[in-house]
Amino acid sequence: MVTRVTTTGNYSAVLANLLAAQQKQMDAGDKVSTGKNGQNLKDYAQKSELLTAMRSVQTRLVGYSDQNSLLSDKLSTQDTALSRVADAAGSVRQIMADALASGRVDTLVEDIQAQLSNAVEALNARYGGKYLFAGGQVDTQPVNVSALSDLTAPPAIVANLFANDTFKVTAKPDDATTITTGMLASDIGTDLLTAFQAFQTFNEGVDGPFTGAMTDNQRTFLESQLSTWDQTRSDLTIKVAYNGTNQKRLETIATDLEGRQNTLTGMIADITDADMAGAAAQLQQSQLAVQAAAYVFQSLQSSSLINLLK
């Protein structure tokens, strides 16, 4: 059998080779310029489903990381507020101890009033314009006290001084963890305001007010209050520690999320990122192939059967 050689057939074969070489050159050029193996999922063929799944997980992890960053900042603000409340309780205890040591109570009421103001200001702390310890009523100031006298005004019920509800914010920092990060002003400050109230009630009673030299009854009262304020500060310190534990958990989770994101990024890169050295070599080869096909095409023009028959 004799294979027929025709000009049209030769042109078709050479043109097909030229077009194929040009396509390979374009593909190699895209890899070199973008650093990627493809422009869309169909370019990754059988790995498209795996790639889609990994990117979905990656998006979820990024969402957790962004949320946890904000939550960590909130807990830091909360830590500052809780520490101020605990410090106020410790300061009251120290003020009373100093008064007992000196036997004088000239500025005792004023000094304790200052610590009440510090504690209430901390209980009314805000984050992002919202009250931290108000529960779900984030636009309502949770503690309505400005002076020691507010604690003994009728009906003199400490629970009525708090305007927060019972809702406690919870957060899900990753797929497997849920943390209760919200704290309520009433849970934090009830014992504290009760201790302040006891002081003010005594100050307004028959053995008050606290002025000048300390009386025997005033000394007995203040001595009895030291253990109360020790316990109050201890309880508040536990709340500070609880908040700190949540901060530490978030740090641990953040480290884990970062590691998982880095692993996913590497796995995705193994699929999508081009081998730049190989892509550059492929580009050179495809350019040579285009040049060779073009040269053959030109040569074919000069060796047409028509020219041979002339």
Give the tens place of pLDDT for each residue, 208-221. 999 999 999 999 99
Q: Which residue did the predictor score with more confidence, 236 or 37? A: 236
- How far apart are alpha carbons 76 and 135 in whole angstroms? 18
Per-residue confidence (pLDDT) for residue 15, from 0 to 100: 54
Question: How far from chain centre, in Å, is Cα 291?
Answer: 56
Per-residue confidence (pLDDT) for residue 175, from 0 to 100: 87
Per-residue confidence (pLDDT) for residue 13, from 0 to 100: 58
Confidence of residue 260 (pLDDT cuts 50, 70, 90): confident
This prediction's pTM: 0.74
- How far apart are alpha carbons 133 and 68 in whole angstroms? 19
Domain 70-239 has CATH 1.10.3470: no
Share of the chain above pLDDT 90, in %: 58
- How far apart are alpha carbons 69 and 204 in whole angstroms? 48
Per-residue confidence (pLDDT) for residue 12, from 0 to 100: 61
What is the enclosing helix (H) or strand (E) of 173?
strand 170-174
Per-residue confidence (pLDDT) for residue 289, from 0 to 100: 58
Q: Which of 55-69, 136-150, 168-182 has the lowest mean pLDDT?
A: 55-69
Per-residue confidence (pLDDT) for residue 22, from 0 to 100: 58
Q: Which residue did the predictor score with more confidence, 206 or 44? A: 206
Per-residue confidence (pLDDT) for residue 41, from 0 to 100: 47
Per-residue confidence (pLDDT) for residue 275, from 0 to 100: 47
Per-residue confidence (pLDDT) for residue 61, from 0 to 100: 85
Per-residue confidence (pLDDT) for residue 241, from 0 to 100: 97
Q: Which of 143-152, 181-190, 215-224, 260-269 has the lowest mean pLDDT?
A: 260-269
- How far apart are alpha carbons 116 and 48 in whole angstroms? 63
Q: Region 88-98: what's the mean pLDDT?
A: 98
Confidence of residue 58 (pLDDT cuts 50, 70, 90): confident
Q: Region 21-49: what's the mean pLDDT?
A: 56
- How far apart are alpha carbons 106 and 128 in whole angstroms? 41
Q: Which of 42-51, 180-189, 207-216, 247-256 has the lowest mean pLDDT?
A: 42-51
| In the chain, where the domains are located | 7-35+274-309, 70-239
Six-digit token pair at 50? 């795996």
Per-residue confidence (pLDDT) for residue 273, from 0 to 100: 54
Over the chain, what is the mean pLDDT?
83
CB neighbours of 150 closer than 8 A, spacing ≥ 6? Answer: 144, 161
